[in-house]
Amino acid sequence: MLSREDIAFMYLEQLPFESYPFQEEAILDGFSSEQGTLVCAPTGMGKTLIAEAGIYEAMKTGNRRENPDENGICVDFRYALCENALYDFSDNFVIRHQKNCA
């Protein structure tokens, strides 16, 4: 069975580009924490990539909830940014349900 740290490194290694140091630090911190990680960074800095790592872990471990609406949450105060995150996620994951960000 893979450790959470192994899965984090697998995720980082499969990226088609080099992540920013703060992204790698947040991902590794999130994978070593039982309570999660809060990431605050300006728009365009790559927070979606960090959220994607958590979804990647859930898919690799099968640690998903019965209700697809509980698998991952993206919160943003602007509809356009929420839509961007949805498109970013849909490039790599199957989106089963979409709730409006309004």
Question: Which pTM value belongs to this model?
Answer: 0.68
- Domains held by the chain: number: 1
The structure tokens listed for 10 are 């697998």
Q: Is residue 101 in a domain?
A: no
pLDDT for the residue 70: 45
pLDDT for the residue 97: 43
**Helix count and strand count (H, E) for the chain:** 4, 0
Residue 99 reports pLDDT greater than 80: no
Q: Is residue 98 in a domain?
A: no
pLDDT in tens, 21-72: 999 999 999 888 877 788 888 878 888 888 888 888 887 877 655 545 444 5
Could you tell me if 30 and 7 are in contact, meaning their C-beta atoms sit under 8 angstroms apart? no
Q: Is residue 99 in a domain?
A: no
Residue 95 reports pLDDT greater than 80: no
For residue 31, how far is the Cα from the chain centroid? Answer: 11
Spatial distance between the Cα atoms of 24 and 9, rounded to a whole number of angstroms:
9
- For 51, the domain range is 4-92
Residue 8 reports pLDDT greater than 90: yes
Strands (E), the chain: none
